[in-house]
Amino acid sequence: MPKNNTMTKNPIGVMDSGVGGISVLRHIHALMPHEHLIYFADSAHAPYGNKSQEEIKQRCFAVADFLIAQDVKAIVVACNTATAAAIAEMRAKYDLPIIGMEPAVKPAAAASKNGIIGVLATVGTLKSAQFAALLESYGRNVEVVTQGCIGLVECIERGELDTEHTKQLLAQYCAPLLAEGADTIVLGCTHYPFVSALIAQIVGKSVTIIDTGAAVAKQLQHKLNAQSSVNSSIEPATILFFTNSQHTQSNKVIETLWGQPAAIQRLS
């Protein structure tokens, strides 16, 4: 149902288990620079990948309720694990567009020359029914090699994008994919694009790396167009970050990942 025009200037809410979804936020802002954005980093509860499905749903509902109280006109669940665990229930509960993530198995299968694709993701995403369904739909004619990346989200949450420890973890997790001959690697977690340059160094120029952030931004734009709720104003957009992180460096990490000074509110 088309929204009232008074809704067009309302912000878009973007949520993640932590700061990883800022990679998606950047794509959204690049595509729709006049849309006001509110980002919620649920860093106090990151990572979601080691939590039960019920715990993840509870966190998603709590964050969505917070965003809806800010009068958002749409919500992007910029987290693969949260999408897999809670997106169906969120769409049933809330009466506004809710866009989720999914590992890009389909475009990876299309991009691969040798039919072997690798997926780097959290254990929670790889165990999900949604990921199993993706493999069933798009992985039939390719070999899919998966690798759970324990500890990598935590490194990125701390802003450790170029440390020896992060490099060692990435080398460890990419090695099995390369050993199986993968020529295409899917970044199956929104945190991972922030270390994509390191991954590219490890896997070499012959391996294609696929990030789904741009596709999600386009899907959001499509949904807003369908509801006539695109912001047609040419005023500069406001981008506001909320975080419940307990780390003293959390503001610095957010600004580093966003790439510029940011308006950040810390919640208890």
Hey, what domains does the chain have and what are their CATH numbers?
5-101+214-266 (3.40.50.1860), 105-211 (3.40.50.1860)
Report the distance separating Cα 176 and Cα 156, nearest Å: 22
Q: What are the strands of the beta sheet with 12-16, ordered from one edge? A: 98-99, 74-77, 12-16, 37-41, 239-243, 263-266
Helix (H) or strand (E) holding 74: strand 74-77
pLDDT per residue of the chain (268 residues) written in tens, 0 to 9: 344 456 899 999 999 999 999 999 999 999 999 999 999 999 999 999 889 999 999 999 999 999 999 999 999 999 999 999 999 999 999 999 999 998 899 999 999 999 999 999 999 899 998 999 999 998 888 999 999 999 999 999 999 999 999 999 999 999 999 999 999 999 999 999 999 999 999 999 999 999 999 999 999 999 999 999 999 988 889 999 999 998 889 999 999 999 999 999 999 8
- pTM higher than 0.75: yes
Report the distance separating Cα 134 and Cα 215, nearest Å: 16
Report the distance separating Cα 220 and Cα 83, nearest Å: 15
Active site residues: 79, 189
> Which residues have a Cβ under 8 Å from the Cβ of 223 and sit 6 or more positions away?
74, 97, 99
Kind of pairing between the strands at 98-99 and 37-41 = unpaired
Report the distance separating Cα 117 and Cα 102, nearest Å: 15
CA 34, distance to chain mean position in Å, is: 21
Tell me how far CA of residue 58 lies from CA of 44, 54, 83, 90, 93, in angstroms.
14, 6, 13, 10, 13
pLDDT for res 50: 84
Q: What is the largest CA-CA distance in the chain?
A: 55
